[in-house]
């Protein structure tokens, strides 16, 4: 893979798998946030809410990274044998 560049199809699939994993984690954390909130654990609830937001931001970055895979001009690509 390194010698001939990257396979953007494989890269997209790998990023999508990570994004799906983060989405599931985000859902679980949202549920934990609500449980902590209903259990009068304000500090825990606030931290879990912040982590949920951070995962959302990370997922946005992943989506941006996938979009940028298309923007690469082949003239910008160089192959270096190690």
Name which residue leads in pLDDT, 6 or 60: 60
**Mean per-residue pLDDT of the chain:** 86
Q: Residue 21: which residues within 8 A CB-CB, separation 6 or more?
A: none
Residue-level pLDDT at 72? 54
Gap between the Cα atoms of 40 and 25, Å rounded: 22
User: Quick check: helix, strand or coil at residue 5?
Assistant: coil
- To the nearest 10 degrees (0 to 180), the angle between helices 42-69 and 8-38 is 170
Gap between the Cα atoms of 47 and 11, Å rounded: 32
Written as six digits, the tokens of 33 are 């946030």
Q: pTM here?
A: 0.74
């Amino acid at each position: 893979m390194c010698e001939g560049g990257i396979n953007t199809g494989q890269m997209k699939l790998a990023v999508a798998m990570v994004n799906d994993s983060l989405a599931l984690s985000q859902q679980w954390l949202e549920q934990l946030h609500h449980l902590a909130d209903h259990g009068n654990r304000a500090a825990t609830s606030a931290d879990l809410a912040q982590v949920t937001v951070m995962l959302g931001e990370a997922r946005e970055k992943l989506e941006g990274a996938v979009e940028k895979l298309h923007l690469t001009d082949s003239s910008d690509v160089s192959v270096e044998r190690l």
